[in-house]
Amino acid sequence: MTLLKVDDLVVEHRTPGRPVVRAVAGASLSVAAGEVVGLVGESGCGKSTLARTVCGIGRPASGTVSFQGRPVTPLGLRRRDPSLTGIQMVFQDPYASLNPRRRVGDQIADGLRTAADTSTTPADLLDRVGLPREFATRYPHEFSGGQRQRIAIARALAARPSLLIGDEPISALDASAQAQVARLMRDLAVESGAGLLFISHDLSVVRLIADRIAVMYLGKIVETGRTDEVWADPRHPYTRALLGAIPAPDGAGVLPAELPGDVPDPASPPAGCRFHPRCPKVMDVCREREPEFGPVACWLHEPA
């Protein structure tokens, strides 16, 4: 069953006196129940904007987002649509996402109240994320980054989500905690039948946990497929470059020499294929026409 469907989504950032920044420029993806989808790409490619829009934080300029068949409405001044509590997010910064003045058990209990769950306790959820039950009475400053991220996961799980979104949830953690937290998110989502959209720039971790992978570049999904197939045969030149990246000790990776430069400014994206100024395989058509097809948005792989 498809839980999340994102269709041709466009999200723009508007600042008076400055050009419109199209952070998401027509992206489509889906997540099914019990499925783990890894969304990967360099910083600034629009992954986090897409995730926030899926949660209702941010308004699409066009395109649609639906969750369990119902449109996701942007968060306004009124209360969040109760059906959207089925989407829970774990954020990048475990130091900012927990309230420093409240005991972690009280923060987890908020989620249990949202789900009207009276049979589970905060200590039960700490147990599920691999932390001692007695941590419920402590405050966030008493914990390491990895422990805090486990607490954030426990808090998200308390609301009994059908869809869990991790927005770079491991990038602020020590290398030793990254794979553990990623695997924990996968195991907890799958065992409860929920879907997981796991956003990361670290392909090596995504490979460990994702059933499917979507590669994003400058606001667009440029390649999608089963993780094992994409890993064995990456077809988009950008995917090939990402897979060729050498993992650095901080997990950030180093792009290979044939992929020079940074992601261009989304306020003035290149004409034609957005990747063409950096692509080692660029052809004339790439500079003129955008490859608007899938599963590999590249003129080298135009469908018959």
Shortest CB 230 distance to ligand SF4, Å: 15
Look-up: residue for tokens 């045969």? Answer: 233
Tell the smallest beta-carbon distance from residue 30 to ligand SF4 (Å).
Answer: 23
Phi, psi of 302 (to 5 degrees): -65, 130
Cα(146)–Cα(155) distance, rounded to whole angstroms? Answer: 14
Closest CB to ligand SF4 among residues 151, 279: 279
Segment contacting ligand SF4 (CB under 6 A): 65-73, 142-150, 203-211, 269-277?
Answer: 269-277
As a residue count, the chain comes to 304
What is the footprint of ligand SF4 within residues 223-242 (CB under 6 A)? 236-237
Q: Binding to ligand SF4 by residue 276, rule CB under 6 A?
A: yes
- Give the whole-angstrom CA distance, residue 104 versus residue 217: 37
Residue 167 or 223 having the CB closest to ligand SF4: 223
- Between 62 and 91, how does the x/- string for binding to ligand SF4 read (CB under 6 A)? ------------------------------
Per DSSP bridges, beta strands 212-217 and 36-40 are parallel
**Which one of the spans 7-15, 32-40, 244-252, 283-291 is the region binding ligand SF4 (CB under 6 A)?**
283-291
Q: Cα–Cα distance between 51 and 118 in angstroms, integer?
A: 30
CA gap 134, 3 in Å, rounded: 35
The 10 Å CB-count burial string (b at 16+, else e) for 264-286 is bebeebbebbbbbebbeebeeeb
Residue 300 within binding range of ligand SF4, rule CB under 6 A: yes
Shortest distance, position 77 Cβ to ligand SF4, whole Å:
42
Of the candidate spans 60-68, 203-211, 247-255, 277-285, the one that interacts with ligand SF4 by CB under 6 A turns out to be: 277-285
Considering beta carbons, is residue 128 or 274 the nearer one to ligand SF4? 274
DSSP letters along 57-95, please? SS--SEEEEEETTEEPPPP-SSPPPGGGGGEEEE-S-TT
For ligand SF4, the binding residue among 46, 160, 299, 303 (CB under 6 A) is 299
The CA–CA distances, whole Å, from 171 to 88, 90, 107 equal: 18, 12, 23
In the list 283, 288, 292, 293, the residue contacting ligand SF4 (rule: CB under 6 A) is 283
Question: To which H or E segment does residue 196 belong?
Answer: strand 195-200
**Alpha carbon distance 208, 155 (integer Å):** 24
- Residue 207 interacting with ligand SF4 (CB under 6 A): no
Residue list 25-54, contact with ligand SF4 (CB under 6 A): none
Beta carbon nearer to ligand SF4, 128 or 236: 236
List interacting residues with ligand SF4 (CB under 6 A). 236-237, 273, 275-276, 279, 281-283, 286, 291, 298-300
